[in-house]
Every structure is written in C-alpha cells, then in structure tokens.
A and B are shown apart, each in its own frame.
Chain A
Amino acid sequence: MSKTSTSGEARAFRKRAGFRLLGMDFQDIIRHFFGGNAMVAIIVLVLISAFLAKEAFFFFPRHLEELRAYRNTGQEYVGYLDAEIKAHRKITSQATQAYNLQLRAAVKGELALQEVAQELKGIFREKIVDERKAVKDTTEKAGVLEFVGGEALEVALKEQAQAEKTLQVAIEETAKGIFLDSLVRTEVRPGPGDFDKIKKAVTRELMGEETPWLDELAATITRKQEASAEKYRVFGDTVNELVAAQAPLEDLWSGLRKTTAENRDLVEKARTAPRRKKALEDGARLTDDADKKAQMLAKAAAVQLTEPNADEMTQEVYAQRDEHLVVRKALLEQTRELAKKIPSKVSAQDSNELLAKMPKVLATFEKKYSHLGEQAEAWSHKKEIGMWHSVVTFFLGTEWVTNSSWNDVYGLMPLFSGSSMIALIAIFIAVPFSVAAAIYVNQIAGPVEQNLIKPTIEFIQAIPSIVLGFFGIVVLGDFLRDFSQLEFLAWIPGFPMQERLNALNAGLLLAFMSIPTIFTLAEDALNNVPKAYRDASLALGSTRLQTILKVIVPTALSGIVAAVLLGFGRIIGETMVVLLVAGNKIAMPEFSGGLGILTEPTHTMTGIIAQETGEVEQGSLHWRALFMVGMVLFTISLLLNSLAQGVLKKFGSKS
C-alpha cells in the first residue's frame, strides 16, 4: 500500500490559523477564565483559614502569660478563699431562708389580710383618680393664696371644701360597688366578716380618718412575729452566728484581695511599659516646645521597665497563709457545731422543705471545703504552668469572664455546651419534620400538593434571621412561658419556665430555620432513587408504605444523613437568632437538673463572637480568645461538611 501525502484532504482537520493571545487560542482563554475563577475562590478560602489560624493560635502563649500572672500575683490563692466563702454562703442562705419562712408562717393569716387591704386600696384609688386630683389641686391653690388672703382665698377654700366633699361621696359610692369578688390578685380569700372590716378600714383611711383596725393588725403582726422569734430563738441565733462566723475569713479575704489586685495592676503596667515609653519618646521627638520635650523625656526615663518580682508580690500571701489555715479550721468546726443546732423540723411546710435539703448542702460544703484546704496548703507561686495548661483551661474551662477588674477567664465549655444544647434541640425537632415532609412530598403527595408544599418550605430560607429572632422575642417567648405554666404540664422537666428567652426557644426557631436545608437535600436524595426500584417493589405486591420504608428510604439514607449533617452545620453556625433569643447567660448548665437545663437561658459560640468582638481592643487576649472560638466553629463546620461528603461517597447509591 502506498502512503498518501498529507498535502491533500487531510489539511481539513489541521488547526486553523486564527485569533491568538499570548500563545493561547480562544478555547484556551475560556478554559483559563473559568479555571481562574474557581482558583480565586479556593485561594480566598485558604487565605481566610490562614488568617483565622494565625490570629487564633497566638492566643495560647498570651493566655499562658495571663495564667502565670494570676499565679505570680497570688490572686490564685485569693481565689481559694473566695470559693470557701461562697461554699459557706450556700449554707447560711439556706438556713436564713428557712428561718424567715418560719417567721412569716406564724403571721400568715394577718399578712394575707394586710395584702387584701393593699389591693382594696389600689382598687379604690383607681376609681377615684379624678376626685383625688381635684382635692390635691384645690389644696395647692389654697396654699398659694394663703399669703394673698382676701376674697380669692375664700373662693379657693370653698372650692377645696367642695372637692373634699365630692371625694368623700365618690369613696362612699365606690365602696358600694366593691365586693369580695372584686379581689383578683390576692391568693387568700378573707371571710365575709373580715372583708367588711377591711373595707371599712380602707374607706376610713382614704377619707383621712383614723383606722384603728389596720393599726391593730400591724401591731398584731409585729407581736406575733416577736413571739415566734422568741419561740425559735435558738434557730434564729444559730443563723446569725453562722453568718457571723464567716467574718474572720471575709476580713482575711478582703485584705489579701486588695494586695493581690494591686500586684496585678503592677504586672499589667509592666506589660505596657515599653509601649508607653516609646509613645512618650515619640511625642518628645515631635514637639517643638522645649519644656514639654524635657518633661516627656523625663517621664519616659521614669517608666519602670523591670518586671515585678513574683517572690515579692506573693510575700504577703505566704505571710497570711498560716493565719488563713487557722481561720478556716475554726470556721469549719464552728459550722459543724452550729449545724447541729439547726432544727430539722419546724412548723412551716416550706421551710421544712429547705431544712430537709440541709444535710446534702452540708455534705457538699465539707467536700468542697476540704479540697480547697488541700489546694491552699500546697499552693506555691513557683509551680510551673505549662503550655498544655493554657490549652486545656481554654477548651475545658467552665467559666468565661471578661472585662472583670479582678481576673479574666476564658473557658470554652459554657459556650460550647450552650451551642450544642441548642443545636441538639433544633436537630431533634427538625429532623423528623423535614425528613417526613420530604418523604411525603416526594413519594405520596400529588402534583398540586407538591407545587404548594415545596416552594412554601423553601421560602422559609428567605426569611431574614433577624426577623425570626424578633418573632422569638416578641411572640414565641411569651407563648412558651405561658404554655409552660399550664398546671397539667408541670411534670415536663424544666416546666414552668422561669425565663422567656432560653435554649428551648432558640432551639425551636433554629429547627424551623434548618427545615428547608434538610428538607431540600433529603428530597433530592429521595428523588435520586431510580423509579425502577419503586416499580419493582410495587410489582412484588408491597404497599406504598412498605416500598417507602424498605426500599426508597434505605436507598436514599446516605443522602438523608448528609442532609442532616449539613443542617446541623447550619444550626451550629447560626448567629442572629441565638444572640437575640437564647438569653445570653454565660454559665455551665446544671447537668444535675436533667432535661430541665433545656429551658435555661444560655450563651453560644456564635453569639459571644457577635456580641463581644465589637468592643474589644485589637490584638488583646480577649480578642484572640474570640478568634479561637471562631476557629473552633470553623473546625466544627469543616468536620460536619467533610463527614457529610464522606457519608455520600462511602454509602451513596451505586446505581
């Protein structure tokens, strides 16, 4: 076979000469354009991550300095004293409350009557507002005219008398219209005889007459209370002694606290010293005024650059440690003695409830107190604090205290647990709703319903979160609280709720917000299940429900799980709603309270960043701590996303 030359027809499929730029033809340019755009997105993401990481990770060395300062100034030791006092106060407040309730119980009936009188007075006053005002005005006028005298005064006095008379008539008229049923606020209903007496007394009082009955009532209350106090004298004395027993420890505490706070100031000053010095020197260089210049230079020279000595700073603490150990021991012994004198049973029901809890309170106190004692005894400012401590106290710390004049603490746990709590509430509510809706729309609903439900649910996504937050504050909060106060719902943990703004409220709103995300993705996953599976299953004689549960949902499961994970990511990252609705109380949830913690106000990782970033100084420890929180959020989102992708890749439908 002879070879053909390329000169003939084959030219047709050679590259044609045409538009070229930098050695690229048109196709190449388009390719690079699109590729470039994708590249930009990736580069920006990398830059953001790098920036976040850089700002955040410098947190740990600075945090370490802070922890060291807390120890070197002796503040840490004062912290033990502080905790001891707080632990002891739990006992005193419990006992005081029980005692006061008992005293109140002795005069329960009289107090109730007094309350009724109070309410009646209110009712009267509301009805005779105008008349009372007239009396006041005319009296004032007469008072002014007194100095003028003459006819005008006479007229004014007449008017005043007239107004007073009208008021009296009005009071009498009003009294006729007030019955036992008019009372709505007081819980205790007085008997009809008592009520009449109260009404008469209140009427008299309003008319400006003597009210011996009411005075008598007040006297009775005082007398009875005194009698009761006499009866429970031992109890009362014990309570007072308990409170007084704290005094030595408190004195010690306040003295040391002052010294160590001053130490801390020194440390802070030393930290900023180089900067201040430089500022003064710069200022001196820039002024022309020779006097000022000299002044500034002198000031700059006077700036102390040496760091305060830890040994010196803690001297005072060591000096007082022996005394502290004696004082705390005395307090413990005294408390044990006094606790024996607290009666375990009195006559009032509610104070008995408190007294019943007393042994438990005492046990907690003993445990905590002895632990603190050990710590105080072993304390030394020379103990090294390692880097890992800085990391651990951030991630596992249970307190987040900022802008305090004493010592700032950055612990992630209260925020992390708040965020997780809200996210879990939201996901538990959102998943059943959105997955069920997706199944219904995809598998059961007719085209009309589909066209109604799908856009409606997807519209939720378009609601600005600030609007939802607003709704949470104005409507949902009140609704939930009123709802939780229904008596037959009291068995639900956390009900009745104390606060309108709390984790449950935020969780409900976030559930609502995440429904479209989960719904849309889950519906996609269901839609990707080949119709052939449905046909095959139905042709085998299974019902629609069996087909959905046994074939379609299992096939789409990986997609549904991915949808839930992405929905979770959306919930964790949501800021506005939680900032407005979660209640913003930074505290570890009381896990011993069981599910009741779900109705407590809480704070979140996103919320704290939004709330505090605006007011911190750039580059400060607080600022970096917020970045670190952001970094944690970023990592969580990244993990959730890659987990979702992993699930899809691993278990995604293989058809």
Chain B
Amino acid sequence: MVIEMNQETATLGDMPTESTVGTIKGKTMIECKNVSFSYDMGKTNTLDNITLDIPEKQVTALIGPSGCGKSTFLRCFNRMNDLIDTARITNGTIRIMGQDIHASDVDPIELRKRVGMVFQKYNPFPKSIFENVSYGPRIQGIKDKKKLKEIVEQSLVGAALWDEVKDRLNSSAFGLSGGQQQRLCIARAIAVQPEVILMDEPCSALDPIATAKVEELILELRKNYTIVIVTHSMQQASRISDNTAFFYLGKLIEYDATATLFSTPQQKQTEDYISGRFG
C-alpha cells in the first residue's frame, strides 16, 4: 500500500535560494556539480541543481523527507537510473575519482564494479550463501575454486558474517535471518572490491539488534570504503556518518559535517526537520 503524503500541508516554509555547504574535510571521491535529474525526459526535474562533494573513506548520510530524491540521487552514482528509459541527467556532471561517469567512453558495467550498492530490502539470490558472495567475482571471470573460496571468506569476514555462516556456506541464503541476509548482501557487494558502497536505507527492514550489527559493520567498512547511505533515522545518521546532506523537494538544502549539522543547523528547514517538527 502506498500512503501519499500531502506536501501542501507538510511544508517546511519557503525554499532557500542557495544551499548551505559547510567545510568538508578529506580527499574528494565523488564530485557533483549542478546536477539536475529528470524521470520524464526533462519535463520535470526530480533533482534540481545539486552541487556537493563526497569525501573518500568516510560515511556520508543523505537525509530528507520521503520523496525528496535521495534514492534517485544515490542511484545516479552507479547509473542504475539508466535502466529507466525516460530517465536522464539533464544538467551538470558527476565525477568519481575525477572521471565524468556520463562520458561516452564510460562503461556503466565497469562503473558498477567500482561502485557497489546495497538495497533497502535485502535481496540475496535464490542460491547458496557461497554462490551469492562469489557471484560478482565469477562474472568477472574468476574461475579458480581456491581463489573464489578465498574471496568469499574475506568478504564474509569483512561483512562480519563469517563466524555465523562458515559451517553452512552451501545452504540456501534464504535460511538466514533478515539481518544476516542484509549483511550477506553487503558481503556480496564488497566481494567485487568496489571503491564506493551505496546503501539505500539498509536497515529499514531490520529490527534494532540487527540494525546495531549493520551499523557496527558500516563503521568497520569505513576504513576501506567510501560509503554513501540514505537513512530516515536521525539517530542513525548522527551515530555512523561523518557528513550529512539534507535534501528537500529535490534540492540540496544543507550539507555539513554531521556534528555541525545536527548541533547548529544553518537553514530553518534543516532545523525543523531534524528536531522532528516536520516529517
């Protein structure tokens, strides 16, 4: 069931003309410049003129009310939006590690090997745990059994799942609990050794204990990967992220170090949203 939100009554006041962007420390991994995005060939812009830089090996959280375009923005980074015929970037550029990802010589298949994704609803394949994790390496052409085993173990250890599943690698992934399945999906994503991991509300289908485990894992992964995470939980954002971007109606309102954004928001909408007066 879809519950539509009435945006007329749930307004956060006037839109600011400029987005507030604080100083973000670190080396830039993803660089977005004036990005506009449309689902209907440019008739209406779902994302409007977004400029922000995401630093390397940090956790960046995207927050905002439902329908503001967080998932859309996230899916721009691995060009998953390409699957929708009428969707396109109407303006601006996105660079990852300095490369414009919409340049004509960029292969989205190759891009997705470097920019992994974890979905809101855990979605392991109807295969064994081993096959799930080894899927990515296998389609990249790795056939050697020993090598695959090594990768699977490393990935599962990296996803903090190894101890729980090492004895039943060949049983179906559907036998795992929800939290375990989501961590399996993370293991599957890191098995192809990406630079960036995109996570779209990875904990929204999990109970608090499973959520805690995944959050712990994210903090661990942060050492090696650049993580962009969409979340609806302010607490989660403040617990695990280094930087937070607040979106509203397809616009970037405010972007800053998490501590700063939550303690001293610059924009009125940000303040209303994080203090729960809206949403």
Hey, which bits of chain A sit against chain B, CB under 8 A? Answer: 446, 530, 532-533, 535-543, 546, 550-551, 554-555, 653-655
A540 adjacent to B121 (CB under 8 Å): no
Instruction: Using A532-B119, A540-B139, A655-B126 as known contacts, list a sample of 11 further A-B pairs with CB atoms less than 8 Å apart, ordered by residue number in A.
Output: A533-B125, A533-B126, A536-B185, A540-B116, A540-B135, A541-B139, A541-B192, A542-B139, A555-B126, A654-B126, A654-B174
B83 adjacent to A538 (CB under 8 Å): yes
Hey, which bits of chain B sit against chain A, CB under 8 A? Answer: 78, 80, 83, 85, 109-113, 116-117, 119, 121, 123-127, 135-136, 139-140, 172, 174, 185, 188-189, 192
A541 adjacent to B185 (CB under 8 Å): no
A546 to chain B, nearest CB (A): 5
Q: Which residues of B contact A653 (CB under 8 A)?
A: 126
Could you list some 8 contacts between A and B, CB below 8 A? A536-B123, A536-B188, A540-B135, A540-B136, A551-B135, A554-B127, A653-B126, A654-B126
A223 to chain B, nearest CB (A): 80
Q: Which residues of B contact A551 (CB under 8 A)?
A: 125, 135
B41 to chain A, nearest CB (A): 15
Contact partner of B125 among A536, A538, A539, CB < 8 A?
A536
B77 to chain A, nearest CB (A): 11
B119 adjacent to A535 (CB under 8 Å): yes
- With most chain B CB atoms within 10 A of its CB, the pick from A537, A539, A554, A654 is A539
Q: Which residues of A contact B109 (CB under 8 A)?
A: 541-543
In this complex, what residue of A is CB-closest to B188? Answer: A540
A540 adjacent to B85 (CB under 8 Å): no
Q: Which residues of A contact B136 (CB under 8 A)?
A: 540-542
Q: How many residue pairs, one in A and one in B, have C-beta atoms under 8 Å apart?
A: 68
| Contact (A539, B117) CB under 8 Å given A446-B85, A654-B174 | yes
Q: What CA separation (Å) do A537 and B192 show in the bound complex? A: 12
- With most chain B CB atoms within 10 A of its CB, the pick from A532, A535, A540, A551 is A540
A555 adjacent to B125 (CB under 8 Å): yes
B126 adjacent to A537 (CB under 8 Å): no
B185 adjacent to A540 (CB under 8 Å): no
Q: Which residues of A contact B192 (CB under 8 A)?
A: 540-541
B34 to chain A, nearest CB (A): 26
Q: Which residues of A contact B113 (CB under 8 A)?
A: 540-541
In this complex, what residue of B is CB-closest to A539? Answer: B117
A470 to chain B, nearest CB (A): 43
Contact partner of B80 among A538, A555, A655, CB < 8 A?
A538
A550 adjacent to B119 (CB under 8 Å): no
Contact partner of A655 among B110, B117, B139, B174, CB < 8 A?
B174
B166 to chain A, nearest CB (A): 22
B112 adjacent to A550 (CB under 8 Å): no
B125 adjacent to A530 (CB under 8 Å): no
B112 adjacent to A532 (CB under 8 Å): no
Q: Which residues of A contact B127 (CB under 8 A)?
A: 554
B116 adjacent to A539 (CB under 8 Å): yes
Q: Which 9 A-B pairs have the closest CB atoms?
A: A541-B113, A532-B123, A539-B117, A541-B112, A540-B136, A542-B139, A536-B123, A546-B139, A555-B126
B139 adjacent to A536 (CB under 8 Å): no
B98 to chain A, nearest CB (A): 20
Q: Which residues of A contact B126 (CB under 8 A)?
A: 533, 554-555, 653-655
Q: What CA separation (Å) do A532 and B117 show in the bound complex? A: 12
Q: What CA separation (Å) do A282 and B127 show in the bound complex? A: 77
Q: What CA separation (Å) do A537 and B140 show in the bound complex? A: 12
A224 to chain B, nearest CB (A): 75
Q: Which residues of A contact B116 (CB under 8 A)?
A: 539-540
| Contact (A550, B174) CB under 8 Å given A532-B119, A541-B110, A555-B126 | no
Q: What CA separation (Å) do A539 and B135 show in the bound complex? A: 12
Q: What CA separation (Å) do A538 and B111 show in the bound complex? A: 11
Q: What CA separation (Å) do A535 and B198 show in the bound complex? A: 13
| Contact (A533, B139) CB under 8 Å given A539-B112, A655-B174 | no
Contact partner of B123 among A446, A533, A541, CB < 8 A?
A533
Q: What CA separation (Å) do A356 and B127 show in the bound complex? A: 61
Q: What CA separation (Å) do A555 and B83 show in the bound complex? A: 21
Q: Which residues of B contact A540 (CB under 8 A)?
A: 112-113, 116, 135-136, 139, 188-189, 192
Q: What CA separation (Å) do A541 and B195 show in the bound complex? A: 13
- With most chain B CB atoms within 10 A of its CB, the pick from A533, A541, A546 is A541
In this complex, what residue of A is CB-closest to B124? Answer: A536
A538 adjacent to B119 (CB under 8 Å): no
A535 adjacent to B80 (CB under 8 Å): yes
Q: What CA separation (Å) do A94 and B187 show in the bound complex? A: 76
B112 adjacent to A530 (CB under 8 Å): no
Q: What CA separation (Å) do A15 and B116 show in the bound complex? A: 59
Q: What CA separation (Å) do A539 and B123 show in the bound complex? A: 12
B123 adjacent to A535 (CB under 8 Å): yes
Q: What CA separation (Å) do A542 and B141 show in the bound complex? A: 11
A538 adjacent to B112 (CB under 8 Å): yes
A550 adjacent to B80 (CB under 8 Å): no
Q: What CA separation (Å) do A533 and B136 show in the bound complex? A: 13
A536 adjacent to B119 (CB under 8 Å): yes
Q: What CA separation (Å) do A537 and B78 show in the bound complex? A: 13
In this complex, what residue of A is CB-closest to B135? Answer: A540
Q: Which residues of B contact A530 (CB under 8 A)?
A: 123
Q: Which residues of B contact A538 (CB under 8 A)?
A: 80, 83, 112
Q: Which residues of A contact B185 (CB under 8 A)?
A: 536
Q: What CA separation (Å) do A541 and B140 show in the bound complex? A: 8
Q: Which residues of A contact B172 (CB under 8 A)?
A: 654
Q: What CA separation (Å) do A550 and B174 show in the bound complex? A: 18
B139 adjacent to A532 (CB under 8 Å): no
In this complex, what residue of A is CB-closest to B126? Answer: A555
Q: What CA separation (Å) do A541 and B110 show in the bound complex? A: 6
Q: What CA separation (Å) do A554 and B140 show in the bound complex? A: 19
